[in-house]
Each structure stands twice: as C-alpha cells, then as structure tokens.
Amino acid sequence: MHKDFESFCRRFKAAAAGKEDDENAVAAGIPLVQELLSSDLWWRDFIREVLAERTWFKQQPPTLWPNEITLYRSPDQSFLILAYIWESYSVDTIHDHGSWGIVGSYINKIREVKYLRLDDGAVAGHAELEATEEKVLKPGEITTVFPLDGGIHQMENASGDIAVTINVYGRTVRRGYLQFFDRERSTVRRVYPPRTFKEVLMVRTLAAMGGAADILSEAMGNSLPDYVREEYCQALG
C-alpha cells in the first residue's frame, strides 16, 4: 500500500468514519478525498502491484458492477474505498445507495444526474423519479450521496476515453441489495450481489412452477438474511 493511500485511510478513519451523523461524516471526509484525488502516485503504484501480483484478481469479491475495484475495507466496516473504471461513454443504471458516499472524479470527466423520488414506495415495483440536478465533474471535483432515497443518481463517462472515480462509502444502513430504477417505465427492482442473486432466482423459479411450498418452507428453516427471507415469503404467496 502506497504511503499516501495508507495515510489517507488512517486520517479518514479518524476524521469522518466514526461520526454518527451522515452529513458531518461527509463534510469531514470531502477535503481528505480531494487531497487523495490530487495525486496519481498511489494509483500508479496500486496498478503496478496488482499487475505484478496476479492473484489479486481472484481475491476481489463478486460485485454488482464489473468495473468496480475494492481498494480498502476498514476492519470495523465503518468505511469502504472503491475505484470505478469507466469505459468511454459508458452509462450506469439509475440506482440508490445503502450508505452515505463521497464520489470523486479522478481521471477524465464524469457526468452525474441526481433524482428525487416522488412516490412513497407503497406500491411494490413502482417508483416515480424527477431529475433535480445534472453536472459534469472534472478531475478533482466531488459529489455526494446519502442513504436510500437520499442518494438516487446516475453516472456516465462524459469522455471518449477511460475515466476513473474514487468512491468512499460509510457504514451501510441497508445491507444485501441496491435498487435499480427505470424512469421511463416508472419501475424499481432490487438488485442483489451475484451469489445472493443465484439463490433468489431459484426461489422465484419455484414460485413460477408452483407446488413447491414444502421445498421453500424447509429452506426457510435455515438462517436467512431478512431481505432473502422476504423473497421466500413472496414465493409462498
């Protein structure tokens, strides 16, 4: 780990990660993230080590985004540092977040659109969004997100070349899934990590087949996260 990045992790932990109030944590963390974005030495060293030590790729956890790289996860799970490498003109799905976050443009420009959720979430699978802000982040510039409906946005590589963002997220308030939105269809759906998604797909398959209450009930006897148990309950109808 490069000394600049190691120093950032240590100072971020002391300054921001321990604050209980999301807004105070973000405010304390922004100048530190901006400082990290001002140097590329630590990033070059990171890539050099990864390419030389190829076992690193096998150690990366499965994620929702194939362009996501885990840089650091604090032992107490108070914060997480990710890098996203964006191919030219790639566009992300509109999504929410399970924690507060500080997102910094690192290499080339990133466009962001923030959204306000207009409905109250009472109808499953339905969501109405209104775009509230659009901006292009130049290298070194920051945007922030907050948990759940306070962090709905969409990111896009605004250049014809590779772009990189450095994202720092706080302690998760909702684990297990994110929500992806389709503004044109006014829909929302849960999106699970790859391993969980395989189980969810099997549960939904049994629901579609019918006559599988015994299998589902037996499996529900296991220790399940609440969000997975909800899928079983829906399958049982």
Residue ranges per structural domain of the chain? 3-191, 195-236
Q: pLDDT per position in the chain (237 positions), as tens?
A: 789 999 999 999 999 877 889 999 999 999 999 999 999 999 999 999 999 988 888 888 888 899 999 999 999 999 999 999 999 999 999 999 999 999 999 999 999 999 999 999 999 999 999 999 999 999 999 999 999 999 999 999 988 899 999 999 999 988 889 999 999 999 999 999 998 999 999 999 999 999 999 999 999 988 899 999 999 999 998
Beta carbons within 8 Å of 202's beta carbon, 6+ residues apart? none
CATH 2.60.120.10 fits 3-191, yes or no: yes
Q: Tell which residue, 69, 1, 5, 65, has the closest CA to residue 35.
A: 5
Q: Computed over its alpha carbons, how large is the radius of gyration of the chain?
A: 19
Which bin fits 56, alpha (ψ -120 to 50), beta or left (φ > 0)? alpha
Q: Tell which residue, 164, 166, 140, 145, has the closest CA to residue 34.
A: 140
Exposed/middle/buried for 1, CB within 10 Å: 0-12, 13-18, 19+?
A: middle
Full-model pTM: 0.91
End-to-end CA distance of the chain: 50
Are the beta carbons of 184 and 141 closer than 8 angstroms? no
Angle of helix 41-52 versus helix 3-12 axis, rounded to 10: 110
